[in-house]
């Protein structure tokens, strides 16, 4: 059999693509995933990391709400190590209409979301950071989800089931025979090597870039890029998700994620040309801080670590090319029935929360085309790492008395933490001191997780995500990467790129301690290390 021939090629290494590859691989298909950059570089890695209960959509979009709560419960089972079961609050402030609370709770209950009105006093006790002026509170099963970890776990599972992955590779065109897509032309960004891959079905899971991919295949998908900006605060201010109990608006969700918390988001239509380089504007920063401070007043005086923005792939309904009638629902297009183009499927719309359902729909479609009759099992099979429910249990099973770094590794890797080499003090040395990432954990990621750059490594381990933003860990991790890849010159350039990328996120909020620290980082790298 031709090694470049597959049952299905998935374009896009976001959560939808990774999830689809996993589902396809679980149904016995030979899969290849192609991603132009790294996993989770688009909207997947550029959102709140909110494990929606669906409550936010309950009033206006009951279908999305129902999807969310179902997937929420599924993810708790299959992705335990990616999820923090924090619960969430929907608070009513004096300037909000308390009557909305009733509508909200009824809609939640209709969608199957366990929303419970609680006393404002209890809310203040449960979440001490919440705006004490609140006049109403509803508790919902929100949580937080680490999108990088979730995406990596899906990719890893697909690989463990024989799937192949080509990251940092562009799809430059389609191989087409008549009305059938037969494969793709690709070019590696690292080596420039051009290569063709063949498959019976190609799935377009390119998020907002799926618009162009579809165009390349000769079909139209009406997509509208909507930019959303967010801010990361340097520590966890809140331990529960805090939302405003009102019609969804800007900057009204504060999510605790790992060691930080994130406020967002805004929503601005942008042209397609700007999708690759979205920058956060001063107005957006101001809006996020001032609205965020209404959820948790301490945000107005808490150090901000980064600002970033993502692009939502919004899809207009097929009968409405103007884009006025936009849904956040899942769109799965079989281009054979829609456009007469065989062997091509687009899966888009939806959200991080519903990636698994999207993957299931896309895979069902692929299986129909291939005549494969195997049921989807992704809702019941835990992802690699998620076989245990808690990181305490994981750490206790692997180590007799786990160190802080080992506990942190168990929280990041779940049961896969058992693959970290220990025993040698060199393996236990810390690379990242802010997030407690050891040499052993970095090496485990390099060996199994398709790492070619420091930024790739960051998405898989949290190296450089802490308050120092790479100041101390970047050069150490670069040393390990240089060793693994056997190339110092390449790693030197990579280190430079990494620091630039860190600065890009610091720049929009470049004041106070974050500016001091960035200055210090520059001093260390430029003047001490000569980078």
Partner 1 sequence: MKLQEYTQSRANFEECMKCTVCTAYCPVLQVNPLYPGPKQAGPDGERLRLKDPYFFNYALKYCLNCKRCEVACPSGVHVADLIQTARIKYDKSNPKLRDRILASTDFMGKMVRPVAPIANVATGLGITKTVLDATLKIDHRRQFPAYSGRSFEGWLKRRAKEQAAFPEQVAYFHGCYVNYNYPQLGKDLVKVMNALGIGVQLLDKEKCCGIAMITNGMSKEATKHANHNVAVLQKAVDAGLKVVTTSSTCVFTIRDEYPGVLGVDNAAVHDAIFMATRLIYEKLEKGATLKFKADYHKKIAYHTPCHMEKLGWGVFSENLMRMIPGVEFTVLDSACCGIAGTYGFKKENYEASQAIGAPLFAQIQSVNPDIVACDCETCKWQIEMSTGYKVMNPISILAEALAD
| CA atoms of 352 and 147, how far apart (whole Å) | 8
Of 150 and 468, the one with the shorter C-beta distance to partner 1 is 468
Q: Least distance from C-beta 40 to partner 1, angstroms?
A: 21
Q: Which residues bind partner 1 (CB under 8 A)?
A: 234-236, 256, 258-259, 286, 289-290, 293, 300-304, 391-392, 403-404, 407-408, 433-434, 436, 466-468, 471-472, 511-513, 516-517, 520
Q: Max CA-CA distance within the chain?
A: 68
Of 290 and 337, the one with the shorter C-beta distance to partner 1 is 290
CB 307 within 8 Å of CB 281: no
Q: Per the omega criterion (within 30 degrees of 0), is the bond before 265 cis?
A: yes
Q: Least distance from C-beta 99 to partner 1, angstroms?
A: 30
Q: What is the DSSP letter of 171?
A: E
Of 30 and 303, the one with the shorter C-beta distance to partner 1 is 303
Of 227 and 412, the one with the shorter C-beta distance to partner 1 is 412
The phi and psi torsions of 18 (rounded to 5 degrees) equal: -65, -40
Q: Per the omega criterion (within 30 degrees of 0), is the bond before 143 cis?
A: no
| CA atoms of 357 and 48, how far apart (whole Å) | 20
Of 272 and 399, the one with the shorter C-beta distance to partner 1 is 399
Q: Least distance from C-beta 264 to partner 1, angstroms?
A: 16
Question: In b/e form, how buried is each residue of 453-479, taking b as 16+ CB within 10 angstroms?
Answer: bbbbbbbbbbbbbbbbbbbbbbbbbbb
Q: What does 387-404 look like in DSSP terms, one character per residue?
A: SSS-HHHHHHHH-SS--H
Q: Is 273 helix (H, G, I), strand (E, B) or coil?
A: helix
Q: Least distance from C-beta 140 to partner 1, angstroms?
A: 21
CB 43 within 8 Å of CB 248: no
Residues in the chain: 531
Q: Least distance from C-beta 336 to partner 1, angstroms?
A: 48
Q: Least distance from C-beta 145 to partner 1, angstroms?
A: 15
Q: Least distance from C-beta 352 to partner 1, angstroms?
A: 21
* Number of helices and strands in the chain (H, E): 17, 23
CA 181 to chain centre: 29
Q: Least distance from C-beta 234 to partner 1, angstroms?
A: 5
Of 92 and 302, the one with the shorter C-beta distance to partner 1 is 302
Q: Which residue has the tokens 């909305």?
A: 100
Q: What is the DSSP letter of 297?
A: G
Q: Least distance from C-beta 83 to partner 1, angstroms?
A: 14
CB 27 within 8 Å of CB 19: no
Side-chain-side CA neighbours of 136 within 13 Å: the count stands at 21
| CA atoms of 205 and 151, how far apart (whole Å) | 13
Of 293 and 316, the one with the shorter C-beta distance to partner 1 is 293
Of 204 and 293, the one with the shorter C-beta distance to partner 1 is 293
Of 209 and 391, the one with the shorter C-beta distance to partner 1 is 391
């Amino acid at each position: 059999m031709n090694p470049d021939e597959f049952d299905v090629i998935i374009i896009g290494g976001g959560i939808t693509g990774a999830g689809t590859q996993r589902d396809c691989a679980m149904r016995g298909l030979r899969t290849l995933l192609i991603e132009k950059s790294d996993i989770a570089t688009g909207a997947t890695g550029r959102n709140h990391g909110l494990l929606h209960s669906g409550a936010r959509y309950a009033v206006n979009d009951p279908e999305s709400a129902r999807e969310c709560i179902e997937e929420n419960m599924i993810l708790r089972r299959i992705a335990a190590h990616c999820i923090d079961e924090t619960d969430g609050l929907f608070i009513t402030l004096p300037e909000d209409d308390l009557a909305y609370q009733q509508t909200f709770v009824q809609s939640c209950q209709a969608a199957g979301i366990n929303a419970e009105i609680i006393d404002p006093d209890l809310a203040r006790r449960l979440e001490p950071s919440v705006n004490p002026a609140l006049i109403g509170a509803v508790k919902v099963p929100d949580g937080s989800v680490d999108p990088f970890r979730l995406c990596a776990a899906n990719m890893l599972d697909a690989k463990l089931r024989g799937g192949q992955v080509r990251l940092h590779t562009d799809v430059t065109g389609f191989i087409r025979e008549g009305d059938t897509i037969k494969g793709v032309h690709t070019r590696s960004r690292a080596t420039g090597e051009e290569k063709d891959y063949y498959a019976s079905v190609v799935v377009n899971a390119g998020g907002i870039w799926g618009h162009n991919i579809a165009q390349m295949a000769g079909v139209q998908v009406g997509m509208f890029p909507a930019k959303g900006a967010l801010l990361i605060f340097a520590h966890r201010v809140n331990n529960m998700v805090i939302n405003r109990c009102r019609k969804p608006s800007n900057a009204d969700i504060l999510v605790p994620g790992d060691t930080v918390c994130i406020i967002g988001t805004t929503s601005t239509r942008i042209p397609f040309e700007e999708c690759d380089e979205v920058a956060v504007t001063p107005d957006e920063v101001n809006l996020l801080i001032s609205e965020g401070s209404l959820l948790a007043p301490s945000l107005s005086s808490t150090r901000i670590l980064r600002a970033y923005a993502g692009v939502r792939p919004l899809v207009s309904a097929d009968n409405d090319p103007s884009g006025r009638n936009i849904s956040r629902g899942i769109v799965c297009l079989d281009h054979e029935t829609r456009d007469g183009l065989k062997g091509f499927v687009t899966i888009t719309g939806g959200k991080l929360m519903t990636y698994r359902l999207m993957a299931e729909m896309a895979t069902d479609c692929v299986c129909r085309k291939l005549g494969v009759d195997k049921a989807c099992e992704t809702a019941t099979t835990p992802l690699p790492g998620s076989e245990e429910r808690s990181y305490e249990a994981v750490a206790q099973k692997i180590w007799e008395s786990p160190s802080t770094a080992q506990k942190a590794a168990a929280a990041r890797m779940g049961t896969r933490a058992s693959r970290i080499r220990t025993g040698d003090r060199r393996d236990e040395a810390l690379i990242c001191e802010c997030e407690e990432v050891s040499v052993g954990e970095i090496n485990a990621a390099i060996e199994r997780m398709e790492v070619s750059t420091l930024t790739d490594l960051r998405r898989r381990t949290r190296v450089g995500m802490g308050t120092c933003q790479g100041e101390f860990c970047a050069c150490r991790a670069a040393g390990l990467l240089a060793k693994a890849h056997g190339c110092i010159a390449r790693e030197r350039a990579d280190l430079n790129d990494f620091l630039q990328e860190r600065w890009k996120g610091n720049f929009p909020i470049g004041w106070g301690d974050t500016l001091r620290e960035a200055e210090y980082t520059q001093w260390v790298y430029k003047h001490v290390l000569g980078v």
